[in-house]
Structure formats: structure tokens, C-alpha cells
Chain A
Amino acid sequence: MEARRVVVTASGFVLPQGSTRREVVEALGADRGPFVRSGPDPRVAVCPVPDFDLREHVGRCKNARYLTRGQQLCLAAAVRAVDEAGLGPAHLDRAGLFLGLGPNLQARPRDDKALWLLDCLPNTLAAAMAEILGLHGENLTVMTACAASTQALGQAYRTVAAGLADVALAGGGDSRLSPEGIQAYRQAGVLATDFLRPEEACRPFDRDRSGFAVGEGAAVFVLESLEHARARGAAVLAEITGASSSLDGGSLTGPDPSGRAAMRAVRQCLETLGGGELCVLAHGTGTVMNDQTEAAILAETVPGARAICAFKSRTGHLASACGAGELALGLICAQAGLFPAIANLENPIDPALPLLRTPMIFRPQSMLLQSFGFGGQNACLGVRFHE
């Protein structure tokens, strides 16, 4: 059977910049992101989702007691995506569900909670979401560190392309703002610490970068086969043209400096995009090693790109949810025809790269999303727009 074309027909998101397109567009108009100093550790910059209350998005939800904050953000995003898509029970019954999630760093044995085991199980969110939304199809919970939600989107794309589902929800949600999350990153030595103001902490692709700032948020998308979307008259936001993943097989934390496996994943997606003006949604963490390797990969693979964005400079690092969050922002910017500059980028490590130094009025024909996580875990997604 020939692979079917797969389109994105809705996105739901809960991000530091907001949970509606209008809020996000307005917030991205600022010079920098809404960062503050972490409560548990004021040496660290964080970018929280303000005043998040799950009930405002999904109503009462007793199973929320087994969900992390990041998983609750993801649940809210999924409900918003389904609302936007206008999918009914018959569509949802056989719909797939592909989530990229992170570990619960606060889970521990508890005398006062009978089923604390559910705090530790990675599929608890999928189960709770399935109950609320009536999803009963193909599914997978992906836990591949910071590549997880990008990889989940890729698996959803493949599932719909292969005809195993007509509709699939895909994305992720995460938050590492807890004391445990901050401590874990600090001890790993990946956080920016030498900054005067928290909004200046994260400086992707700048010579003076020193690490990332911790963010939180979620984004979930509705993927459909093109025929299915057309048959029900759904609006098409974009087409997914390809997905790829690879493993460095080197360090457990830093990227392979040669970027060999990551580059292969990038090229696999690039080949599916066709021509036209390309916007790259870079991983761009602002860590010394990641950006150095990624800049070399970008120079090698996409020298002709029209623009390279690094949204982590504005949202902080959404951990396992970063790819989904950045795709949501990329789709919003593409629709608005305006992409923000990479915040805090003053002295680019590679002046030849088309890194966005100022806001750009621009409607790309295609986007390349790339996520490179701990474990040398690489994932990419190719997205194309049609008039």
C-alpha cells in the first residue's frame, strides 16, 4: 500500500506565552521571554506557565492526582486540540495517541497514597487521556528525553501514513520546574548561571552562551490522513512530509561532536521537503556543546535555509515536550507570517548561518523541526505548507 499523505488539522497548546494564538503572537512580539528566577534555586532562570489550573481546561479530573504538572499541561493541550479540531466520538474512538513524556522526578514510595505506582508508570497519562477523550486506537508513550515529543509526532505520522489510523493525537508536555528537576539539571551542569537578568540567561548560538533555562508547557496536534481531513472539511494547518530519528551511540549526555547520526536524521527529513523557502526550528538549547555541534550540522545540511529559529531563547527548555512546543510556535508564526528574533543572540557562533537576528516577516514553504536529547537521541520532522 502506498503511504498516505498526513496533515495537521489542529493544535492545542499551553505554553509560557499563552494557550491561544493571539496570546502567543502578542507575547512573541516582546524582545525576550517571560523568564523569572527559580523559587527553589534563584541562581537558575525558569519560564513558567502562569496560573495553570487543569480544571479550567478539562473540568474536574480525579485522576490528576497521579499526573505530574507536565502531564497535566499535556492533558490540557490535548483537550484543546480536540476541541479545535471538532472531532466527534466516532473519530476519536479509533484515533491514535502518541505522547512524548519525561520521567516523574518527584515520584517516591508513599504511605498515604495507595497507587503511588501510577506516579511512576509512563503510560498513566495516556490512560487518563483515553478515558477523558474516548481514545481507543494505536498508541505509544515515548520517553526519549528531549527528542520524545518530536519522535512521538513522527510515530503518529507513520501510523497515519501506513493506514493504521485515520486520526492521531500527538505531542507532549513536560515541566522540570520542581526542586528535583532544577537540581537534576544543575548537577548535570547544563543550566545557564552567569546572567544578570533571568530573561538574558538563555542565549542560543551566541558566543557567550552558558547553558539553558528551564521551561514548561505542552502542545498536542491532531494528525489526519489528507483524505480524512478533506472528507470532513477540516482546515489543514500543514502537511507532515517526513519523520526520522537516530542515536549517536556516544556520550550519555552531550552530542557526538561529529554530528554524524544527527545529520543523517536531518537529511532524511530534508529530502522529503522539496524546494522553496525553508525555516529551521533548531534545537538551540544554549549549552556550549549542543549549539556548537548543531551549528556545524546546520552549516552542513541547510546552508540555503531562509531562517533559523531558536524558540528556547523565549520559552526555556520544555524538556521532552520541546519539539511539540516549538512546532506549535512555528505553526503560529508561519500562519501569522512573522517570526521572532532569537533572543539574546548578539555574537553568533557562525555568522554565515541564517540565524534570526531580527523579527522576520516571512511565510515559509516548509519547516524542519529538530530535537537532540540526552542519550544522543535525535529526532526530526519535516513540515510543508500549501497555499
Chain B
Amino acid sequence: MNQLETITAILADILDLDPAGITPETYVIRDLRAESIDLLEIGVAMQHRLGIEVDDDTLFLRNMRTVLARAAKAGTAAIDALRGEYPHLDDARLGQMLADQPAGPVLKVRDLAAYAAARGGEREE
């Protein structure tokens, strides 16, 4: 099982969903309706099953609005602020997020996979 497959299995398990309905482009909060306690479980499960250290705030983009507000106040470019906060996401993805942000929580399954990839980690047997 690769990291994306493991993450999909974790989401299906914790949210009691059919894994076939989960793709990299699926929104974790907007589509899968993950609540805060679900995110807690997802973070712990990724840590446990992928053998990586997980920082929930970074993984789930928890402070995005605060980071953007602080950047606006300081006159820093939004993308620069996000790059510093979320080094596991590339500029193209961060750009999408900025455009998408007014429509709701932007976190997608692919962002969880990008985090896991950046953290290295063991492949689950």
C-alpha cells in the first residue's frame, strides 16, 4: 500500500465511508464532512500507520486564515506567508488554495499525501 492508498484507507475507516469515493481531489472537510474530532483521529492514524511525526496544525492547514490575516497586516505577499507555513505544498497548489479559499475549507486528500511525502516515513507493509 502506498502512502496515498493508506491515507485513503484511514479516511474511509475513520469517517465510515466507501474508499472508492475518495480521490486525491476530494475535499476532506467540504466533501467528506470531517469534524474536529475526526481530524484528531486522522492525524494520530497517519502518525501511527505511516510512521511519521504529524503536526496537526500544519497537516490540516489549521491556521491558514490567521497566517493570511497576519501577512495582509504586515504587507507580506500571501503566497510567501503560506510557503513559510506549509513547506510541503508547492506554489501551484498554494495558488489554487488562495483562489479557492473563499468557497470554504481548501484541504484536499492530496494535501495530506503531500505532507506525508515531505515527512518521508515508512511505507506500510
Contact = CB atoms under 8 A, between A and B. Distances in A.
Contacts of A113: 41, 44
Interface residues of B, number: 13
B15 A112 contact: no
A65 B14 contact: yes
B16 A112 contact: no
A62 B44 contact: no
B53 interface: no
B45 A62 contact: no
Q: Which of B14, B17, B41, B45 has the most CB of A within 10 A?
A: B41
A60 interface: yes
Contact of A64 (B16, B44, B45): B16
B16 A114 contact: no
Interface in B1-59: 14-17, 37-38, 40-41, 43-45, 48-49
B44 A114 contact: yes
Contact of B48 (A61, A62, A112, A115): A112
Nearest to A59: B16
A111 interface: yes
A105 B67 CA distance: 45
Nearest to A55: B16
Nearest to A65: B14
Contacts of B17: 60
A91 to B, nearest CB: 27
A60 B16 contact: yes
Contact of A114 (B15, B41, B49): B41
A111 B49 CA distance: 11
Contacts of A61: 16
Q: How large is the interface on A (under 10, 10 to 19, 20 to 34, 35 or more residues)?
A: 10 to 19
B37 A115 contact: yes
A111 B48 CA distance: 7
Nearest to B44: A114
A112 B45 contact: yes
A193 B7 CA distance: 47
A61 B30 CA distance: 18
A64 B15 CA distance: 10
Contact of A115 (B15, B16, B41): B41
Contacts of B49: 112
A62 B40 contact: no
Interface string A39-81: 0000000000000000000001110110000000000000000
Contacts of A111: 44, 48
Contacts of A60: 16-17
Nearest to A111: B48
A112 B41 CA distance: 8
A108 to B, nearest CB: 15
A61 B13 CA distance: 11
B40 A115 contact: yes
B43 A62 contact: no
Interface of A: 60-62, 64-65, 111-115
Interface of B: 14-17, 37-38, 40-41, 43-45, 48-49
21 contacts: A60-B16, A62-B15, A62-B16, A62-B38, A64-B16, A65-B14, A65-B16, A65-B41, A111-B44, A112-B44, A112-B48, A112-B49, A113-B41, A113-B44, A114-B37, A114-B40, A114-B41, A114-B43, A114-B44, A115-B40, A115-B41
Shortest beta-carbon contacts, A-B, top 7: A114-B40, A112-B48, A62-B16, A114-B44, A60-B16, A114-B41, A62-B15
